[in-house]
Structure 1
Amino acid sequence: MTTFPIKALIAASSLALMAGMTTGAHAAGFYLQEQSAKQAGNAYSGAVTAKGADALWWNPAAIAGTTTKDLTFGLSYIDPKGDVDDTGSVIVRPGQSAASVGGNASAKDPISSGTLPNGSFSMPLNDRVAIGVTVTSPFSFETNYDSNDWARYDADKTRLTTVDIQPVVAFKINEWLDLGVGLNAEYTKATLNNALPNYSALQADGAQTLEGDGWNYGYTVGAQAHLKKVTLGLSYKSAIKHELSGSLTMEGLQTPYTAYNGTTDGLKADFSTPSQLMLGVTIQATDKLALHAQAINFGWSEFDYITISGSVNQAIPEDYRDTTSVAIGGDYVINPKWTVRAGIQSDPTPTRDGHRDARVPDADRIDYALGTSYQVTPRFAIDAAFTYVDFKDSELSTTTAAFAGTAAQTPIVISGELRDASATVFSVGGHFTF
């Protein structure tokens, strides 16, 4: 009974790590960058150089030298679209010839729409030191394939929720240099359901459900240099080594697989989320116009293996590659109450050809963003942004196996394509100073 838990836990851990297009988010891989409605307006091109609590996720130095308490909050609605189509996937049951996986050959919009909240608070301790905290959900998503979709053995219904709590302390070193450091405490909870093939294609599919959760920790350090009309921002967010503990339940398996039905407890999966090295520049071109550019190098290659432990021990290769996203944009102050923004971001996928499956139909993308802020009162402002995400088509191609390593081993060769994918993101938020 050990091989099924291996397969299911590998699938669940991979899904929890690879949100990509399946999250409805507009950052490649599994990273959700919707952590500020204000920063979304210029495609996050000025996030690492921005001042204020809403920029704490990107740079803990953002609150150094502040003189007021700052409370920010926001909510993003993410609406993904796209077809995940079968182009010849096959299953090879024991002693039988390769056959089509069957089912609905085109999964329409299998990724659920959803909302993503965020909030931050900061306060000065004196004219040099400030403290703050930001609460975000950087890896949260839900997928909902139909039970008869071609991808059912690889991906069915999945839910992942994360909460990242990042307390920060920031220091104003002198008139031009600010430094900050933060601790990232991240809670992750995942639930995955997949179909399982029975011995005969005439038998109804079985099912497996894996649930797991865990707390894990990392850190963020950052700096900002304010040089007359130029601000430079630099920050580093560490990789986080995650460990999920949970259980696997299998049901609906018929002869000769009935022995696999039941629940297995005490399973663990270890993996690392990527580090982020962020560099940005803001130029105050005029009294009203600020121009931004930002690059983020993601250490996706740190997600190289999923290590399984418990009743079995195994290391599963994932083979992600490092990527760099680039964004440019600007803010324009129309009047003391009203500011408008715009930006564009290019973000390549970390997944490699030959290792991309229906569970993670990721692709290179370009984001187009517009935003605005309105100062309702001297102490309260509203932020809003709209982002359109354009995904390239991408091929899905990989091989997995149910009952791996046993006489019942059942290879499943995935061949498919992500087509006509896009996402729209509406972000709204506000901030108080007091």
Structure 2
Amino acid sequence: MTTRIKLSLLASAPLWLVASTGIAHAQAFYLQEQSARGAGRAFSGEAADTGPQSLWWNPAAIADIETTEAAIAASAILPRGKVIDDGTVIVRPRQAPAAIGGNPVSKNPINNGVLPSGAVAMPLGERVAIGLAVTSPYSFTTNYDADSWARYSADKTRLRTIDIQPSVGVSVFDWLRVGAAVNVEYTDAELGNKLPNLTAALPDGQQVLKGDGWDVGWTAGVQMHNDWATVGISYKSAIEHTLKGSVEISGLVGPLAGGNATIDGIKARFKTPAQIIVGGRFRATDALTVNMQGIRYTWTDFDTIDLGAPLDTAIPENYRNTWSLAAGLDYAATPDLTLRAGVQRTLTPTQDGNRDARVPDSNRWNFGAGGSYRLTPRFTIDAAANYVAFKDETIDRITAAYVGEAAQTPIVTNGRLEEAHALVFSLGGHVAF
């Protein structure tokens, strides 16, 4: 029975507990919407800006604050797109290759959602400050219809993360700020996909995996500044996640019925990538600030998902390292109103031959606009809108159910992502006490 479950899992090889966001935001299943202020300039200067709104990107951002400050934000994320079958076939035992069947067009499989974030910072004397950021960097839900052509590699996925980042920032010299933080991250995930029975006339089986766990990483950064420029550099470590959960397989009939079972206590291990962030803010005039930022993501850390006993197998992911580049402007139109705009280019870590319907990711452009308005001397409201345009891309990862058994069933995927885009609306506030 354990062997049958182990082999059945390979039908969902594209991701076990982490695939979720697909065509949504920064890249793959990472979300960058942790600041409404940053969204307005397409996240082009966060490592070099100051205050709790930039704490996620660089803990040095709070080093010179003079009063206690807090910021909250929420982003409504509205992804759209089509995941289309372009000739996927299934090869059941002793049968000729056949069309996968089902609905050949899956529209908007990535659910709409709201992503909250918040941070607070407090000075301890003239040169030291402490802070706390609470974010959700890997969270969303995909939901394909039960009759979708992609059902054997992607059905329903739910991922929630909560990242709690206590931080300290120190103003070492008048020109140098440094910071360090611990990232305590909770992950809760559920993944499901269909399993083929031995003939197309039989209804599909079902596989559902669940797991959760707490893990720890760290962040460190510096900011160098003078009267007209600030340069920020930070490093967010990769986090090795260990999720403990269960797998349940049901609906298999005939010779496959022995695979129906539930196993508890399964552990899955995987890494989310490190980030090397370099940002700059340059005062061109008294009113105009130019922002730039580049991020290198070590997505090769997400090379496999390792499943522990009793399954004892590794699922290859084969992501590649990649980057994002952004540029933007802040313009102080009045003493109370600041306008922003920016553009960001990001490459996907998914590769041809390894891209599946659960994470139908592609290269994208992110265009942002927004602003801040100071309602009172201590309270400012931030708002932004982003349009993310995704390149059409192939979905072409071959999977198989019941590998190594007489019932082995390859699924030769041939699909594509088309007309994908996302609208993101962010609203936040910043208060000084």
TM over 0.5: yes
Matched, 1:8 2:9: yes
Counterpart CA distance in 2 for 1:245 and 1:80 is 30
Counterpart CA distance in 2 for 1:32 and 1:60 is 19
Aligned to 1:296: 295
Aligned to 1:335: 334
- How many residues get paired? 432
Q: Contact (CA 8 Å) 2:13, 2:399: kept in 1 or not?
A: no
Aligned to 1:146: 145
User: Shift of the alpha carbon at 1:19?
Assistant: 3.8
Aligned to 2:178: 179
Partner secondary structure for residue 39 of structure 1: helix
Matched, 1:388 2:387: yes
Q: Deviations over 1:294-327 (max 9, x none)?
A: 0000001111121121102222221111111000
Counterpart CA distance in 1 for 2:66 and 2:13 is 46
User: Shift of the alpha carbon at 1:16?
Assistant: 4.1
Equivalence map 1:334-373=2 (5 Å): 334-373=333-372
User: Shift of the alpha carbon at 1:233?
Assistant: 0.4
Counterpart CA distance in 1 for 2:302 and 2:145 is 29
Counterpart CA distance in 2 for 1:49 and 1:10 is 44
Counterpart CA distance in 1 for 2:249 and 2:311 is 17
Aligned to 2:111: 112
Q: Contact (CA 8 Å) 1:10, 1:306: kept in 2 or not?
A: no
Equivalence map 1:44-63=2 (5 Å): 44-63=43-62
Matched, 1:83 2:89: no
The 1:391–1:114 alpha-carbon spacing in structure 2 relative to 1, beyond 3 Å, is: same
Matched, 1:188 2:187: yes
Structure 1 residue runs of 4 or more that deviate by more than 6 Å after TM superposition: none
Q: Deviations over 1:269-317 (max 9, x none)?
A: 1111100000011110011100011000000111112112110222222
Aligned to 1:250: 249
- TM-score (norm: length of structure 1): 0.97
Structure 1 gaps, min length 5:
none
User: Shift of the alpha carbon at 1:7?
Assistant: 4.5
What amino acid does structure 1 have at the position aligned with 2:397? Answer: T
Counterpart CA distance in 1 for 2:266 and 2:306 is 11
Partner secondary structure for residue 377 of structure 1: coil
Aligned to 1:221: 220
Counterpart CA distance in 2 for 1:368 and 1:15 is 32
Partner secondary structure for residue 15 of structure 2: helix
Counterpart CA distance in 1 for 2:16 and 2:432 is 40
- Percent identity over paired residues: 51
Aligned to 1:200: 199
Q: Contact (CA 8 Å) 2:17, 2:209: kept in 1 or not?
A: no
Aligned to 1:34: 33
Partner secondary structure for residue 187 of structure 1: strand
Q: Contact (CA 8 Å) 1:79, 1:424: kept in 2 or not?
A: yes
User: Shift of the alpha carbon at 1:13?
Assistant: 7.9
Q: Contact (CA 8 Å) 2:38, 2:45: kept in 1 or not?
A: yes
Counterpart CA distance in 1 for 2:235 and 2:19 is 21
Equivalence map 1:422-433=2 (5 Å): 422-433=421-432
Aligned to 1:67: 66
Counterpart CA distance in 1 for 2:352 and 2:190 is 27
Aligned to 2:91: 92
Q: Deviations over 1:246-281 (max 9, x none)?
A: 101111111121111121112111111100000011
Partner secondary structure for residue 5 of structure 2: helix
Counterpart CA distance in 2 for 1:420 and 1:303 is 27
